Amino acid sequence: MAQLSKPLLDLIGFFERLPGIGPKTATRLGFYLLNAPTEFVNTFAKSMTEMKNRIKKCRVCFGVSENETCEICNDGKRNRLQICVVERAIDVVVIENMGGYGGVYHVLGGAINPLEHIGPDELNIGELVERIRKMAKDDQEQAEIIMATNPTMEGEATALYIKRRITEINPNIRVTRIGSGLPIGADLEFADQATLNRAMEGRRGI
Amino acid sequence: MAQLSKPLLDLIGFFERLPGIGPKTATRLGFYLLNAPTEFVNTFAKSMTEMKNRIKKCRVCFGVSENETCEICNDGKRNRLQICVVERAIDVVVIENMGGYGGVYHVLGGAINPLEHIGPDELNIGELVERIRKMAKDDQEQAEIIMATNPTMEGEATALYIKRRITEINPNIRVTRIGSGLPIGADLEFADQATLNRAMEGRRGI
């Protein structure tokens, strides 16, 4: 792309660094903005820096927030004794969009991954343990900690590690794991063995 | 996504307005920038507005340029008698990336499309005709105008229309059309009839 002017090449380069955007899509997006109204491009750019300036992490759950604590943690109608533990802030959005979940969250900031040198101390696990430890004894025994980390090696290991840490506080605290098995609409024929295994293990009466 | 703070929602909304970016990808990109270094986000935003401020259209070919005329039009080694006519500025990049083309370009800014009220006057067709008319008679007879509009109804109609306009200037000017047929690596079994028809028409001795 030697013939493209530098400002456009620079912008395409930025798009290319976004996840899931290859060189072709990046070029297309660059040209799209080239032909888009200046007003749109300027407000887009402003929205980017503004988001970065105004959004912080919730002090309690480490989710996305404009204030010290997030809307979900502040919401009096939420069940504070049901904590859904997820890897990333975006997972909160996915579960919220599903609807029907009335508890609160705890964002770990990732999963334990020895290959990438991410141990428990790099994640918000200590803060989760503290959050549970601070609950009244009665509350602890009514609480449910839902491990909604990804069904990957790292996510499973993280869930098991956290389960152990919580049991150390109080062995009566209920720790659950989200269901694994065939996704809705899937075809048994094309399912991998690990998933099928989980689906069999997770079978329920009908 | 009621629980997401407005600055992040706004940014996701902007991503969603880009071509080929759905709500899920837009959300992913928004969260990616949320977690990206502030420096990266700020330079990305700046690059966007800068591109918009600095890039204009080449006065000759309507391609992308930082100056009055673009690098390709200014390049003395390019064959000015071979003009490749394309719909969009991005098509220039595609052909340049292919390598091996040594002529110049003319960007129409789209294709004739009566359904969307785009007639010849909305495109840079008059300017192309003028460009050819201004050539010396000898040059005209040596020139080749390559119609590289898309092989769609609109692209074909535009190519034919331009061919007629050029013939009015001088019937000896050579106007060519890029080849149509099966793309390399394709499977005959899955080709549509129109493409197959073109492939048969465009057959060559081997």
Best to test chain B binding among A47, A66, A68, A86 (most B CBs inside 10 Å): A47
> In chain B, what residues touch A3 (CB-CB under 8 Å)?
70-72, 92-93, 96
Task: Say how far apart CA B126 and CA B129 lie, in whole Å.
Answer: 5
Average pLDDT over residues A156-161: 94
Run means of pLDDT, 10 residues per run, chain B, 206 residues: 77 95 93 93 95 92 92 94 94 86 94 93 96 94 93 92 95 90 80 81 76
Tally the residues of chain B. Answer: 206
The predicted complex's ipTM stands at 0.77
- B199 in A contact zone (CB under 8 Å): no
Average pLDDT over residues A101-111: 94
Sequence-distant (6+) residues with CB within 8 A of A202 are: A179, A180, A181
Model confidence at A192: pLDDT above 90: no
Residue B203 pLDDT: 79
Residue A82, min C-alpha distance to chain B (Å): 17
Residue burial A159-187, b: 16+ Cβ < 10 Å; e: rest = bebbbebbeeeeeebebebeeebeeeeee
Average pLDDT over residues A107-118: 94
Beta bridge partners of B113: B118
Residue B194 pLDDT: 82
Q: How is residue B11 written in tokens?
A: 């940014």
Is A27's CB within 8 Å of B93's CB?
yes
Question: Which B residues, 60 through 99, put their C-beta within 8 Å of a C-beta on chain A?
Answer: 64-66, 70-72, 88-90, 92-93, 96-97
pLDDT category of residue A1 using cuts at 50, 70 and 90: very low
Residue A29, min C-alpha distance to chain B (Å): 7
Is A3's CB within 8 Å of B50's CB?
no
Is B3's CB within 8 Å of A72's CB?
yes
Best to test chain A binding among B72, B87, B91, B93 (most A CBs inside 10 Å): B93
Is A11's CB within 8 Å of B46's CB?
no
Sequence-distant (6+) residues with CB within 8 A of A190 are: none
Residue A203, min C-alpha distance to chain B (Å): 30
Q: Domains in chain B, please, with CATH?
A: 6-54 (1.10.8.420), 73-177 (3.40.1360.10)
Q: Distances from the Cα of A151 to the Cαs of A147, A197, B170, in angstroms?
A: 10, 13, 69
Average pLDDT over residues A96-118: 92
A170 contacts A141 by C-beta, under 8 angstroms: yes
Task: Say how far apart CA B11 and CA A43 lie, in whole Å.
Answer: 9
Three-point CA angle B108, B109, B110, nearest 5°: 95
pTM: predicted TM-score of the whole model, two decimal places: 0.76
